Amino acid sequence: MKLDNPLVIADIIDQHPCFSEIASHRFGRIHLPVAPKCNIQCNYCERKYDCVNESRPGVTSKVISPQEAVGRVKEVIEKFPNIRVVGIAGPGDPLFNEETFETFRLIKDSFPYLHQCMSTNGLLLPEKVESAKQLGVDTMTVTLNAVDPSIGAKIYSFIHYWGKKLEGVEAAEVLLNNQLAGIKMAVKEGIVVKVNTVMIPTINDNHIIEVAKKIKGLGVYMQNIMPLIPLFKFAHLSTPSPTDRKRLQGECAKIIKQMTHCRQCRADAVGLLGKDMSTQLFG
Ligand code: CLF
Ligand code: SF4
- CA neighbor of 171 nearest in space, from 283, 1, 179, 248: 179
Going from the Cα of 6 to the center of ligand 2, the distance in angstroms, rounded, reads: 32
Peptide bond just before 240 cis, omega within 30 deg: no
Q: Which tens digits make up the pLDDT trace of 73-91?
A: 999 999 999 999 999 998 9
Going from the Cα of 112 to the center of ligand 1, the distance in angstroms, rounded, reads: 20
Going from the Cα of 160 to the center of ligand 1, the distance in angstroms, rounded, reads: 25
Residue nearest to atom 4 of ligand 1 (CA): 18
CA dist 274 → 98, 180, 211, 246 (Å): 30, 31, 28, 20
Q: Strand 40-42: give its sheet, edge to edge.
A: 40-42, 156-161, 164-167
Q: Which ligand is nearest to the CA of 43?
A: 2
**Average pLDDT of 219-230?**
96
Confidence tier at 58 by pLDDT (50, 70, 90): low
**Average pLDDT of 179-207?**
97
Mutate to test the pocket of ligand 1, among 20, 24, 29 (most ligand atoms within 8 A of CB): 29
- Using DSSP's 3-state secondary structure scheme, residue 24 falls into helix
Q: Looking at per-residue confidence, does 9 or 124 come out higher?
A: 124
Q: How far apart are CA 107 and CA 276, in angstroms?
A: 21
Confidence tier at 66 by pLDDT (50, 70, 90): very high
- CA neighbor of 210 nearest in space, from 156, 148, 149, 260: 148
Q: Is the C-beta atom of 261 inside 6 A of ligand 1? A: no
DSSP H helices in 66-193: 66-79, 98-110, 125-134, 149-155, 168-188
Mutate to test the pocket of ligand 2, among 31, 40, 198 (most ligand atoms within 8 A of CB): 40
Q: How far apart are CA 118 and CA 16, in angstroms?
A: 12
Going from the Cα of 81 to the center of ligand 2, the distance in angstroms, rounded, reads: 31
Q: Which ligand is nearest to the CA of 193?
A: 1
Residue nearest to atom 7 of ligand 2 (CA): 51
Do 54 and 259 touch, CB atoms closer than 8 A? no
